[in-house]
Amino acid sequence: MGSKQIIDRLFFLFISMPVAGVFLFTMANTAGLKPALLVGSILLFLWLASLIWTVARGGIFFGLPTWSRAAFGIFAAWVFWLTSLPPYFRDDLIIHLALPKHILHAGAWVPIPFQPSSVFPNALLPFNLVLLNAGLDRAVSFLPAFFYLGTALVLAHWVKEEFGAGWGIFAGGALLLEPLFFRLSTTAYNDPAVLFFSSAGAYYFWRHLRENLPADGYKGAVALAGASAIKYNAGLFLACILVVLFLDCLRSRIWAPRLKVASASFLAALFFCSPWWIRFAHEHPSAPAPMFHGPLQERVALCGDSFAYALASPVRLFFEGEEGNKCGYDGGLNPLLLIFGMFCAPFFFSGRDRKFLAASAGLFMVSASLLFAITARYYLPVLPVMIFLSAGWLSALAEKRVALALGGAALLLILDLRGYALAASRFEGWNRLLGRESNVEFLSKTVAGYGATMFANAHLGQKDKVYFVFFGNQVYYCDVPYYYDAFWDGITFMRLLKPYADAGEIARELGARKITHVIYNKGVMRQFLTRSDSWNVFADFSSRFGKTLYEDDNSALIELVNAPR
């Protein structure tokens, strides 16, 4: 069995998940939620059985050394061990778990009123619903883990097909050891699923551009459209590749195959995304702040940065490291020009020889790796392409400078290992994984407002509404009505709590939103009040309109009293 056949087998196995997700979403909004959950349970069982059968047959490792199969198995066991933690990370609990819980409580597929992302296409969410409905909230994290491991196999076989088995193992290992995946292995983020389909899509488009085979172009279109129905980043990747196809038409005069593939891309995107677009055409949950305004406002308000310095936040993150950037940085949108360059430069500025093509892409590989280090997981859709180009560049170098090429590969893996080890050293879940602490102890330590949230569950009722300020990740554990600022927690509070603001106006607006209680992160609140010089306003608000019900080292729960109407 050749590498292409193995990649095809993996692609068809994994693409069945978002295809089934589209079907289940449509069914939930037509036939009802309960039938969709029943059918989803059956489909998930059949998919897992197919996955186990595929792995047990061993064909997906064909052409790779026996030792590499053993190493992959050990690493897979390691990933699944990390994945067994209870859900604790931010987007896990806001999107991948809180939204399914909200839908299950409502008994119908309805969005969270103040969370715009709850209407975004997410073709894996129906399976999260199935698992939560069965009480298996930890198992939600296992689905992305399967995609993560599958991506390493796709990348290894892609590089093996082009540059040999040794470089294939290097590429697969470079992906598995990427430090960011240590964290993602402990979460239910859907990013690894996007990574798989962007990897498969890049592979198929690469073949289509080189060999003009329409079938590969169609598979690439379906792969990236499927990824777009999981996370919008991959939609940007697909748009860039369509631009590349158009420009290649101008260059090569090969119009018919390219236009067919472009048409297939649009149709595939419509298939995967249109059910969400149709269902939520007239439902638009509104965030308290514009979607692309929040991050800069956070950095200006919380960090005391100027607007220009806030824009430079990702560069500071790269040079200062995790501890040097207290505000964090997700990265925003994918680097469109960079993706465009990675695909266009080899085809426009070099010959068709594959090794010269890979060598010419070296500059883009280096710059892409640098930018990925800066902005973390928002660059995941292009990570397999970066590693592929890296392997091609090193393999071309090995023809004349073997020692230098092997040294470069070793250095890259060593840097990966170092970052992975650093991520592991900062990880707070070891005691839970080793059985030295309970779930409650672990969650109390890692979810800042867990104690306050549990207090609210025990003492508040369904007529109350809790506003989570400066953390939204524990909303999943909240069993009473709640409110939090979509995308960036606390944006409403930050807008209201300005120097010389009127405490009565703050209480009046919170009351207008029917908020009865506020849980806030004490550490971030302290930082914000210091930066914004708003201590006096907050003290006035708390003394006149707030009654403290619960307080610990991390958070406080206050009840709004005497609020003007």
**Residue keyed to tokens 């068809």:** 12
Q: Nearest CA to 255 among 13, 447, 247? A: 247
Do the beta carbons of residue 63 and residue 160 sit within 8 Å? yes
- The enclosing H or E element of 154 equals helix 142-163
Q: Mean pLDDT for each consecutive 10-residue tract of the chain (565 residues)?
A: 89 97 97 96 97 88 89 95 87 80 92 81 94 92 95 95 92 89 84 91 86 88 92 76 76 80 91 92 66 47 53 42 38 45 52 52 50 53 80 83 89 84 87 92 87 94 89 80 72 80 88 90 86 87 92 91 72
Do the beta carbons of residue 388 and residue 171 sit within 8 Å? yes
Written as one letter, the residue type at 495 is R
**Residue keyed to tokens 């296409």:** 121
This prediction's pTM = 0.85
Pairing assessment for the beta strands 517-521 and 555-560 based on DSSP bridges: antiparallel
pLDDT at 437: 93
pLDDT at 214: 86
Long-range contact list for 277-286, CB < 8 A, 24+ apart?
Answer: 277/121, 279/25, 279/29, 279/109, 279/119, 280/111, 280/119, 283/111, 283/119, 284/116, 284/119, 285/111, 285/112, 285/113, 285/114, 285/115, 285/116, 285/118, 285/119, 285/486, 286/114, 286/116
DSSP conformation class of 86: P
Q: Where are the domains of the chain?
A: 3-281+330-425, 447-560
DSSP H helices in 92-141: 98-106, 125-133
Q: Can you tell me the distance from the alpha carbon of 467 to that of 460, in angstroms, rounded to the nearest whole number?
A: 13
The half-sphere exposure of 512 on its side-chain side, counting CA atoms within 13 A, is 7
The tokens for 242 are 């369509």
pLDDT at 162: 87
Angle CA 472–290–109, to nearest 5: 55
Q: What is the DSSP string of 461-526?
A: -TT--EEEES--TTGGG--S-EEE-SSSTTHHHHHH--TT--HHHHHHHHHHTT--EEEEEHHHHH
DSSP conformation class of 92: I
Written as one letter, the residue type at 110 is V
Q: Can you tell me the distance from the alpha carbon of 132 to that of 129, in angstroms, rounded to the nearest whole number?
A: 5
Handedness of CA 491, 495, 499, 505 (dihedral sign): negative
pLDDT at 202: 87
Q: Can you tell me the distance from the alpha carbon of 290 to that of 173, in angstroms, rounded to the nearest whole number?
A: 40
pLDDT at 386: 77
DSSP conformation class of 301: H
pLDDT at 317: 39
pLDDT at 286: 63
In DSSP terms, which residues pair with 111 in a beta bridge? none
Burial of 365 (0-12, 13-18, 19+ CB in 10 A): buried
pLDDT at 375: 45
pLDDT at 355: 54
**Residue 363 backbone zone (phi > 0: left; psi -120 to 50: alpha; other: beta):** alpha
